[in-house]
Chains A and B, each alone.
Chain A
Amino acid sequence: MADVIMHERNIQLVSARQRIMKIAVLVALYIFLIAMAITVLFPFYWMINSSLKTLEEYRLSIPTFWPRQVMLSNYVDAFNTANLGRLFLNTMYVGIVSTLLSLVITVLCAFAFARLEFKGKNTLFAALLATMMIPGELFTITNYQTVNSFGWMNTYTVLIVPFLVSVFYIYLLRQNFMQIPNELYLAAKVDGTSDIKYLWKVMIPLALPTLISITILKMMGAWNSYIWPRLVANDDAHKLITNGLRGASFMDTTTNEPHIPQQMAAVALVSIPLFLVFIFLRKYIMKGVSRSGIKG
């Protein structure tokens, strides 16, 4: 009898120790994760903090962690100095037009690959996928000459047309279309529904999440693109936001020093739309990104 009680007490002791260990591990996990989260967030905090300071306060040798005097005027100055209004409009225009055209082309192409039968279908599809291996810089060299000979330099066309077709998006949408049972298509054929009507009424609604992912990634692409726009459309009328931001110079007229608070305000203005999109469409972005492995 005594033996059994001893044994039970031992078990209780062991389980108590295990519980303490478990809690200790959990606390360590949370400390690590929260420390990492703070590290990840710090640049954003510092961007906002700096953007609201006066230049004098920013230059204090002991930094302040919240501005003594909140300078919202930095944002107005940044907006005007960097000509952000024009840059926003340019980027939105290029983003929207290229997204719409790209969606039409991608949907038609993915539909043909997923539903229609034609000679050389698999070979063509494999060839398309193979081009994804090649780094974009290899295309840029010749494309630069091509658009030049088309007389497209410093136009919206040059920012939109060369990137309308993305093999990756075709691949993504084709996979999605293939999951839709073929019987639906055949039934629609029997009823005499046209391809386009079937696409519009059945395929597109069913593949909507993928289409939304593509739209977001494409818009983010326009927002973040830098190399190609700088190369082919560097004039004020067609400049895109990233290029304009990097090229803008924020100088303090009295000290002739770079006005970092204003620069940070401009950076914040460029970053905020991306955050808003992220907050409202997080699910689609994360789904699209985890399958793509590409940025923007």
Chain B
Amino acid sequence: MVDSKHQWKAWLYLSPAIVLLLIFTVWPIINTIRMAFLEGYDSLSAVNGTTFSFGFGNFIKVVQYKQFLTCLKNTALLCVTTVPISTLLALLIAVCLNAIKPLQKLLQTIFFLPYVTNSIAIGMVFAAMFNIVGNAHGTENEIIVTAGIINNVIEFFGGTHINWINAGSTYWANMTVMIVYIVWNALPFKILVLLGGLQSINKQYYDAAKVDGTSRRRVFTRITVPLLSPMLAYVVITGFIGGFKEYTSIVGIFDETMGPPDDKGRLNTMVGFIYDALETSKQGRASAAALILFGIILVITLINLQVSKKKVHY
């Protein structure tokens, strides 16, 4: 029985959350969709009484905008490289961790450390590691004092130093740095989830395989991976969602210019594009881009769920 006194009390307890959600979650959804479909909407003109007609203009403008395509390309590229690399590496580390006893706790803690960092702060450390120290301003007769620890290591093994992030660096050098940093950053969460999954697999499966004399590889592909598949699907989906929202790790390494000093904005991402549009007060365009981002995330999640429905064993 639901009595009315209880009803009243429930809504009282819910009220602070609901009021805040209405203002900062529900209204933004409605308003962002509204602004996205009003041609060339910007809030400054809106305040002055300008009216905007309904249409798909913002979406068309966003898609035709060269900057947007760069952002989309960068974001997609970072996603399709970092998600598989970090997932495979995390799987490998988790399986190895699960196979050892001494030092397991210590190593597990070490592998989790990158999670409890500030992605901007540690990005600055990576920038210093890949940096070329000295008067490297891209001039003809530049003097390189030292080439940064990563380049020092490359030179130690007989290679030549690479201009990773400074003026005059190539797009692929920049991308490599970003991939290394994002993978480093993404590992802890994936290892944590996958190791948790491995530890919950019933030992009886492995005992049965041992009795049958099954090879290691077969045990891995026929027992470990299938039983781990829900966790794998989970880290891949969250990895893609996080990847499409990549922004702060790039700010950490390249600062707000989102690229080397001589080619600003080269590494900009979808989220960066939205904020750029917002800061220039082009809310219509920003809203359209945000809806496109939402659409992409939705599609990727649905595809992932569809694939895992076929492949995941619960």
A: residues with CB less than 8 A from B are 26, 29-30, 32-34, 36-37, 40-41, 43-44, 46-47, 50, 58-63, 104-106, 108-109, 111-112, 116-119, 121, 124, 128, 131, 133-146, 161-165, 167, 170, 195, 220, 223-224, 226-227, 231, 241-242, 245-246, 260, 263-264, 267, 270-271, 274-275, 277-278, 282, 285-286, 289-290, 293, 295
Contacts and interface: CB of A to CB of B under 8 A. Distances in A.
B10 A137 contact: no
Contacts of B206: none
Interface in B224-249: 234, 238, 241-242, 244-245, 247-248
Contacts of A231: 275, 278-279
Task: Pick the most buried of A59, A141, A167, A270: most chain B CB atoms within 10 A of its CB.
Answer: A141
A271 B122 contact: yes
Interface in B241-274: 241-242, 244-245, 247-248, 251-252, 255-256, 271, 274
Contacts of B122: 43, 47, 267, 271
Contacts of B128: 46, 50, 260, 263-264
Given A37-B111, A137-B290, A242-B121, A116 B13 contact: yes
B152 interface: yes
Given A108-B16, A242-B120, A295-B119, A142 B96 contact: no
Contacts of B120: 224, 226, 242, 245-246
The B contact surface, by secondary structure, is helix
6 contacts: A32-B96, A108-B13, A118-B11, A138-B28, A142-B35, A289-B189
B69 to A, nearest CB: 18
B98 to A, nearest CB: 10
A118 B2 contact: yes
Contacts of A146: 23-24, 27-28
B32 A141 contact: yes
A286 to B, nearest CB: 6
A134 B290 CA distance: 10
B146 A165 contact: no
B261 to A, nearest CB: 12
Interface residues of B, number: 90
Given A62-B146, A141-B286, A164-B20, 5 more contacts: A61-B147, A139-B32, A141-B274, A163-B24, A295-B189
Given A128-B21, A146-B23, A289-B189, A41 B13 contact: no
A146 B22 CA distance: 12
Nearest to B102: A30
Given A271-B121, A282-B109, A289-B192, A165 B274 contact: no
Interface string B120-131: 111011101101
B294 A138 contact: yes
Given A59-B145, A117-B10, A144-B278, A43 B126 contact: yes
A263 to B, nearest CB: 6
Contact of B121 (A50, A135, A245): A245
Nearest to A275: B116
A245 B145 CA distance: 26
B121 A267 contact: yes
A136 B24 CA distance: 11
A249 to B, nearest CB: 10
B215 interface: no
A61 B10 contact: no
B312 interface: no
Contact of B6 (A60, A109, A117): A117
B100 interface: yes
